[in-house]
Amino acid sequence: MTPPEAPQDGDTATPGDAPPAVSLRLVTLTKRADFQRATRAAHVAKPGFVLQMRRRRTDEPPGPETIRVGFTCSKKVGNAVARNRAKRRLREIARLILPTEGRPGHDYVFVGRKDTTANLPFAQLQTDLSAALARLHGGAP
């Protein structure tokens, strides 16, 4: 059995399949102090998650053009399987939406919620993130 042949002219790829080129600007938060600073900043609660947003000072690393993002799910969310599933879903909506709707020089922290982050429809999580970003950035309520 031979493997299928790859298309030569690239006619099977659709332009909407690739993530935006700016997705490389997302940097993951790892230090506890960064999460604590975001906790004291503005936040919006949605059914599937809580989004915290903090504008960084211009002299803070990694620079003013970078969007940083963090994810957290406490044991209230569930066992390790439930927490990991919730964080995977939050990482994916962040990857899809933050490069286009997030603002450079900001930190965003997603906090998972019990029973809802892992179970809500994915499309609702995406629309909730867009609405939360609009509210945090001073747009629609």
Three-class SS string for the chain?
CCCCCCCCCCCCCCCCCCCCHHHHHEEECCCHHHHHHHHCCEEEECCCEEEEEEECCCCCCCCCCCEEEEEECCHHHCCHHHHHHHHHHHHHHHHHHHHHHCCCCEEEEEEECCCCCCCCCHHHHHHHHHHHHHHHCCCCC
Burial class (CB in 10 A: 0-12, 13-18, 19+), 68: buried
**Res 25: pLDDT:** 65
Mean pLDDT of the residues in the chain = 84
CA dist., res. 37 & res. 59, Å (int): 16
Q: Is 63 left (phi over 0), alpha (psi -120 to 50) or beta?
A: left
Q: Is the pLDDT of residue 66 over 90?
A: no
- pLDDT (average), residues 108-119: 92
Q: Is the pLDDT of residue 15 over 60?
A: no
pLDDT, tens digit, for every residue of 19-65? Answer: 554 445 688 888 999 999 999 999 999 999 999 999 988 777 877 78
Residue 88: pLDDT band with limits 50, 70, 90 = very high
**Res 22: pLDDT:** 45
CB 49 within 8 A of CB 120: no
Q: Classify domain 25-136 by CATH architecture.
A: 2-Layer Sandwich (3.30)
- pLDDT (average), residues 65-82: 91
- pLDDT (average), residues 106-129: 93
Burial class (CB in 10 A: 0-12, 13-18, 19+), 23: middle
pTM recorded for the entire structure: 0.79
